[in-house]
Chains A and B, each alone.
Chain A
Amino acid sequence: MSTITPETLIPERPEAEADLAKPRTLRNSYTGRDHAFRAITFTGGIIVLVVMLLVGAFLASNGVQAINEVGLWKFLTTANWAPESNDFGIAAVLLGTVQIAAVALLVAMPLALGTSLFITEVAGGWLKKVLTSMVDLLAAVPSVVFGLWGAYMLQPNIVDFSKWISVWFGWIPLFQVDGVDPASPLRDTVPFTASTFIAGLVVAMMIVPIQTSIMTESFRRAPVGEREGAFALGATRWGMIRTVVLPFGKGGIIGGTMLGLGRALGETIAIYLIISPVFEIKFHILEKGANSIAAMIALKYSESNEFAMSALMAAGFSLFLMTMVVNFTASAIIAKSRSGADSEG
């Protein structure tokens, strides 16, 4: 090897005089091993990129082929799904997906917010630790477990609540249930089963842990100094939460909610187990009959011939686009809130 100098060299420090604002360039030279390492990891990156782009491109090209057959506008506005007679569109399923996700979000968001505030602000000591791990664990529970619970426990019990809402609030069109005689003394629960509402509730339970986990994370980072400042100024706990924790965790709240929304839009099995699929545009969320893009794919894929498969891929691709936009927004918001947190901390 080359010579090894016995004494320590103190490098010259030209940067002391240089313009500090200007980042200096970094020059590396690599050995053969390093080049191999870089090449291999680069290949890994390329493979992943190709695979991922392949998935996207395959879905998109197949989908576009199906959409071209009927035209984009018709694809977006048709409620029926009959690819064999060229009469198909995602109006109904898209609306159903959004409705289920909306119900899920409306239920999950306040619950997640309350729970994460409970974990960070009210619970203390060991309880806080246990609850945090429990929430993280629950985020890993497979969706089929929630689906089973929804179909076999929630549905038989929630129908009475659905009926109660429809009886007392049926004058609001959203809660209207057709084909039910409220005066009948018979307990006919069928009109209230398999509804958007029930599917939404199950999905809500699935996304609560994810949302809670993200919100808890962001609330926890609210600086202790500011909290104490608020208390010192005479704020109650709620006053402190309102003025310190919530503004600080805003990014986490929005980001977590959006991430939950992304999950809710793509959820399949829980909805598949519960709904009675319909292909019509409807707004009565308590009434039986619902649909979502994901559930439709799971129900229809096996009997679809080549063209119907393309149509399904068009629907799947539009769902993918939707979840992608939601997820990107979410991660952008979370990332932004994080960087903000760092600078303040």
Chain B
Amino acid sequence: MTRSARIAGIVAALCLIFAGLAPAQAANYIRIGGSGSSWAGNALQDWVSRVGAQGVTVDYESKGSSTGRKEFADSMKQFAVSEIPYTGDTADPKDNSRPNFKYGMLPVVAGGTAYMYNLRAGSGRLDTLKLSQKAIAKIFTGQVTKWNDKVITADNPGVALPDATINVVVRSDGSGATAQFTLWLLRQFPSDYAKLCQVTGCDPNSATSFFPTKGLKNFVAQNGSQGVTTYTANNLYTINYDEYSYARGINFPVAQVKNAAGFYTLPTEHAVAVALTQARINQNPKSENYLSQDLSKVYGYLDPRSYPMSAYSYMIVPTEKTDALNEAQGATLGYFANYALCEGQRSMGQLGYSPLPMNLVLAAMDQLRKVPGVDKATRAKMDQTAASVSKGGTPACNNPTFKPGDSPALNQLVRSAPFDAACAAACRAPWTGEGAAENQGPGSTGANKGNKAAGAKPAVKQPTATAQAGPAGAAGNGGGAAGAGQAPAAGTVGTTSGGTAGCDADTGACADGAVVAAAGTGTQLLTPVSTTIAGSNGWGQTQLLLVVVGGLLLLLVLAPPLLARELEKRRAGRRNSA
């Protein structure tokens, strides 16, 4: 009786669970899934939740580009997102997974690899750190291990950097961000990269998706962008590399990076847009890497507004029917990717990315048309976008990079990018008006005016040299820096708060009360400030001292009662004998 009731209950519960098996998709788009880059993960999540509100379900897993490319090649997902292609000189040579079907790459978002750090200044967080590219290379190859190293202080005059170890947080999983970062190291600082590889045993001639950390004592590897960001946010004296949106999402500061022109920039949508005008795009539609990027020229771009570590992220889609993608799934993929390329770009700036320029949007849409199953509605939308761009009528997709009537290769964000206050009219001249650079890629005129306009060659080769020239941080020399592109030593797009004094600039010893207070309640008082054991974890004076003090205390507490007891006993014995 009770059993039957119980069974009936269970059956009813199961029925309830499976009752919802009916498809929940409203717009008749079947559910699809993708995985890959966590660098672009925040952008993808944004689009996924927006199309989710329209009743189209797309699942995206930010498991890292390596995973994304592998799962796509294994036909486990309908699309992948990766910063680097499967093949070519920008690919990871160790990664040997290849799709056995035809596929295409389409850029979906641009962004800057930011260096998020966790440092204290006084009672608050230090948020004015500036880093030269040289310093970044030295830090991330394990050659500079102290926050108050000269390489870093040179860019931060007047800032009390602590005498603490730099805890470098890197990705433990295979990541496109790591691949782009090591590629940057390899291209810009090959000797530093060689040194890293000497220590860790990596291949000094190729970039890698897996950051080598073997034998580097101040490196911590964490899984995924989320792991890296969380770890950095929770631990002091740390620095990592990942997309700007991660730091921005939790209001953490990122380092201002010194570009080739000697200005410190943040990876804002403008700075990234400016830098990516120099990205060389593969323009061979026959190539499987069509539209893929080569960033060699981005790193050294002389525009004072450029953020040097900018990159595009790509969606990889099948261009023929595969085990993973039938026409119905292709229709959803088309809908989703078209949304991402069109309306989806609008929110990218707020999120910490940079919207795609219109010429790349159009080229990506052309790629998207090759996906089997893209339905009429989506094709019509793409046609409409292309028409509005060419006719200059209604604003296409409301993409902030595009102004009706202008060439789609001209990124409006580049035009409206603010200059550093220290960059005077003469410094600005080559980069504005006619000199504004246009994006490369399909639809561009080919001649890049901006690049040609950079006639005056400032000290690009040794970015640190210019910084050391004016360590005093005279922000007032802005007017004096009239020579085109001459780098001012200080003054940035961001705000520079007054230097927090307290640390001895020479020795690096911080006597700053606030910093000591920041050292927390831990063992700081217990830790004897003694030079004899500094650096050597041996049995020394202090250990001996602790033992002696402990013994003395023991004696102090225990000796009197025990002694009294002994005496009592002896006295009792005497009394008894008497």
Contact = CB atoms under 8 A, between A and B. Distances in A.
**Would A and B touch once assembled, by the CB under 8 A criterion?**
yes
Which of A80, A167, A187 has the largest number of chain B CB atoms within 10 A? Answer: A187
Interface stretch (B43-51, B470-478, B513-521): B513-521
A176 B533 CA distance: 13
Interface stretch (A16-24, A229-237, A253-261, A296-304): A296-304
B174 interface: yes
B515 to A, nearest CB: 7
Chain A interface helix/strand/loop/mixed: loop
Given A185-B516, A304-B70, A278 B214 contact: yes
Interface in A1-20: none
A178 interface: yes
A182 B217 contact: no
Interface stretch (B289-297, B376-384, B536-544, B551-559): B536-544
A118 interface: no
Contacts of A182: 527, 533-535, 537
B520 A183 contact: no
Contact of A156 (B67, B234, B518, B519): B234
B172 A277 contact: yes
Contacts of B95: 84
B214 A279 contact: yes
B444 interface: no
Given A84-B95, A302-B70, A305-B97, A185 B524 contact: yes
A164 interface: yes
A163 B523 contact: yes
A272 B528 CA distance: 35
Nearest to A304: B70
Contacts of B238: 190
Interface in A45-100: 80, 82, 84-85
Chain B interface helix/strand/loop/mixed: loop
A42 B190 CA distance: 67
Interface string B89-129: 00000111100000000000000000000000000000000
Contacts of A178: 217
Contacts of A170: 537-538
Given A84-B94, A193-B220, A183 B527 contact: yes
A318 interface: no
Contacts of A288: 220
A167 B164 contact: no
Contact of B63 (A82, A272, A302): A302
A34 interface: no
A167 B67 CA distance: 41
B66 A303 contact: yes
B563 interface: no
Given A186-B162, A190-B165, A171 B537 contact: yes
A188 B213 contact: no
A136 interface: no
B223 interface: yes
B237 A188 contact: yes
Given A176-B537, A185-B519, A84 B172 contact: no
Contacts of B145: 179
B538 A171 contact: yes
A173 to B, nearest CB: 9
A166 interface: yes
B533 A190 contact: no
A331 interface: no
B529 A168 contact: no
B222 interface: yes
B126 to A, nearest CB: 13
B163 interface: yes
B21 interface: no
Nearest to A180: B165
Interface in A156-211: 156, 159-160, 163-164, 166-168, 170-171, 176-191, 193-194
A85 B516 CA distance: 48
Interface string B70-93: 110000000000000000000000
A280 B201 CA distance: 12
B522 A185 contact: no
A276 interface: yes
Interface in A274-299: 276-280, 288-289, 299
B505 interface: no
Interface in B280-314: none
B390 interface: no
B174 to A, nearest CB: 4
B174 A303 contact: yes
A289 B231 CA distance: 14
B529 A183 contact: yes
A190 B299 CA distance: 31
A178 to B, nearest CB: 5
18 contacts: A80-B214, A85-B94, A160-B522, A160-B523, A177-B537, A182-B533, A182-B534, A186-B162, A186-B163, A187-B236, A187-B518, A187-B522, A189-B235, A190-B238, A289-B220, A302-B64, A303-B63, A303-B174
Interface of B: 63-64, 66-67, 70-71, 94-97, 145, 162-165, 167, 172-174, 201, 213-215, 217-218, 220-223, 234-238, 510, 515-516, 518-520, 522-524, 526-531, 533-535, 537-539, 543, 546
Given A170-B538, A277-B221, A302-B173, 20 more contacts: A80-B201, A84-B96, A160-B523, A163-B523, A176-B537, A182-B534, A182-B535, A183-B531, A186-B519, A187-B524, A188-B237, A190-B235, A190-B237, A190-B238, A272-B223, A276-B172, A278-B221, A299-B223, A303-B66, A303-B67
- 9 closest cross-chain pairs (CB), A and B: A170-B537, A179-B217, A190-B167, A187-B519, A160-B522, A183-B534, A187-B520, A303-B66, A302-B67
